[in-house]
Amino acid sequence: MNERKFEYLDRVTSYIKSKEAKRYVEEELHYHLHQEIARLMLDGYSREEAEQQAIEQMGSPDRLGAEMNKLHRPRFDWVLALMVFVISLIGILPLLTMSSDLKIFAGFLPNKILSLVISSVIILLFMWIPYQKLVKFKRFFFILSFVMMWLILEFGIIVNGAPYFVIKDGFVLSSFSVLTILFLAWLSYLGDSEASLLWGSILLVVSVYFFMIVPDLSATLMYVTIVGILLWVRFPERRKTFVMMVASFIVVFSTYVFINIDSIERYQLERLLAFINPENYKDNAGYNYINNKELLSKSGWFGQEGGQIDLVEFHTDFAFVNLTYHYGWLLGGFTILLGMLIAARMLRKLSNIRDPFGRLIILGGVSLYSFQFLYNIMMVVGVVPYIAISLPFISYGLTSTVQYSMIIGLFLSVFRRQNLVRITEDRGASK
């Protein structure tokens, strides 16, 4: 008896390509028909007559379907994609300045090209998957991160003071990889309407312990900052509680440091003092500050000739110095600008996003990305002390590539579905 109604609805939605839009349009039009049929029946029409009349009143299903399809096309941010493309290409440049042996035979250049391919795959993968599905995997991500932590602590080999778990030649798990998985885990957990600030805080304290015992200072700092931001955004009603918790934590932490001030390792103290006064530590901890400054000031607008230069970490943490020295401040400055524009654009598009979970994802991603980008730049010019943070897009390294690609992909996923998201409110609640 209701076939005509569903026939009409199916015909309209057959023109709509997007699955989510199909569902929402069908639901809305179904409700309309339902109401209109009821109204006509009150006017005295029989059920069949009312149904027929209501459908006729709707107008041409074909034209309507075509228009709905035009209105509900998924969105893509071409400008952002272009910016990411350009800055990814710039990321190849530091590796071109290596001697040919290192470049090809040690595999740096081919690996970078490969990592760009992986980057595109990850971006597209995350864009395609509806971000709302993340919530289902919250337990999985947390368990995965704990497994990774255990592997690194139990079976990791120490390289340069940090433990790495080797999966295969070239593929290692570091504490930074754990950070990436934990970032996903937190997004998934906080995307759930059932998330609680209490359990979240407990989870934070437990997990940050890992980064502290590695020890990975930069990861600890980033982790606490990013999760702090996520909790701040996610629980707006509990901000006072949150501030009190942070304050008490700072008090406890400072007391701990104060009590144990004698046992702070000499080298850690040295590193801090070297930042404040590099000249006094010219031969060890202060060397990088002085060297970076010198190289950057010699770069000029278009860079210096000279192949391999005396620069450590020239393809990772200090890749920016390498880039600027060889290609000049014109390119260096442009790179900084582009990196910041990418963050700024994602923030600007935030106003288009109504879904709270989508907003959380973008804010979290922009925070994680900007923290690293800004800190690295400030670090190489000597404004902040050195900690091991690489420059997204420019620095070499698969773990970094995976992380920023994930952030871009998640943004595109949220952006794509901005018009297709269902904003619900409880009865009675309104602005």
Partner 1 sequence: MDDRLKGLKKAMDTHTFRHVPFTEEKKARMKRGMERVEENDLFVQGHILQLLLAERTGHELIQLLRARGLKRFLEEEGFLYATLHQYEKDRWIESIWRDGVKSYRMTSTGRKLLEKQLKKKERVFSLKEILEGGSHE
Residues binding partner 1 (CB under 8 A): 12, 24-25, 27-29, 31-32, 35-36, 56-61, 63-64, 67-68, 71-72, 354, 419, 422-427, 430
Please identify, using beta-carbon distances, which residue of 10 and 67 lies nearer to partner 1.
67
Cβ nearer to partner 1, comparing 263 with 424: 424
The SS3 assignment for 195 reads coil
**Smaller CB separation from partner 1, 25 or 116:** 25
Q: Which is nearer to partner 1, 56 or 265 (CB)?
A: 56
Select 56 or 101, whichever has its Cβ closest to partner 1. 56
Min. distance of Cβ 260 from partner 1 in angstroms?
54
Residue 45 Cβ vs partner 1, minimum distance, rounded to whole Å: 16
Nearer Cβ to partner 1, position 28 or 283? 28
Residue 92 in contact with residue 110, Cβ under 8 Å? no
Q: Which is nearer to partner 1, 24 or 126 (CB)?
A: 24
Tokens of 395: 């620095």
Q: Is 213 in a helix, a strand, or coil?
A: helix
Least CB distance to partner 1 at residue 351 (A) = 9
Q: How many residues does the chain have?
A: 431
C-beta of 354: minimal distance to partner 1 in Å? 7
Phi, psi (degrees; rounded to nearest 5) at 274: -65, -30
Measured distance CA(335)–CA(221) in Å, rounded: 25
Q: How far is the CB of 230 from partner 1 (least distance, A)?
A: 25
Q: How far is the CB of 27 from partner 1 (least distance, A)?
A: 7
CB of 231 to partner 1, least distance (A): 27
DSSP string, 149-182: HHHHHHHPEEETTEEEEEEETTEEE-HHHHHHHH
CA 415/CA 362 separation, integer angstroms: 9
Contact (Cβ atoms closer than 8 angstroms) between residue 393 and residue 91: yes
Distance in Å, CB of 29 to partner 1, minimum? 7
DSSP-assigned beta bridge partners for residue 127 = none
Q: Which uninterrupted H or E stretch holds 191? A: helix 175-191
In the bound state with partner 1, the residue whose beta carbon lies nearer, of 56 and 310, is 56
**Least distance in angstroms from the C-beta of 119 to partner 1:** 31
Closest to partner 1 by CB, 71 vs 147, is 71
Query: What distance in Å separates the CA atoms of residue 405 and residue 364, rounded to the nearest whole number?
Result: 14
Q: C-alpha 426: how far from its chain's center? A: 31
Nearer to partner 1, 75 or 103 (CB): 75
CB 197 within 8 A of CB 231: yes
* Cα dihedral 12/16/21/25 (nearest 10): -10
Which residue is associated with the tokens 């930042």?
A: 275
Other Cβ atoms closer than 10 A to 31? 10
Comparing C-alpha atoms, which of 428, 410, 427 is closest to residue 355? 410
Q: What is the H or E stretch that residue 130 is in?
A: none
Please, which residues have CB within 8 angstroms of residue 239's CB and are 6 or more apart in sequence?
Answer: 232
**Nearest distance from C-beta of residue 411 to partner 1, angstroms:** 20
The H-assigned helical ranges of 260-380 are 266-276, 287-298, 319-327, 329-348, 356-380
C-beta of 51: minimal distance to partner 1 in Å? 14
Terminal-to-terminal C-alpha distance of the chain:
41
Cβ proximity to partner 1: between 117 and 423 the closer is 423
Per the CB < 8 A criterion, the answer to whether 324 and 299 are in contact is: yes
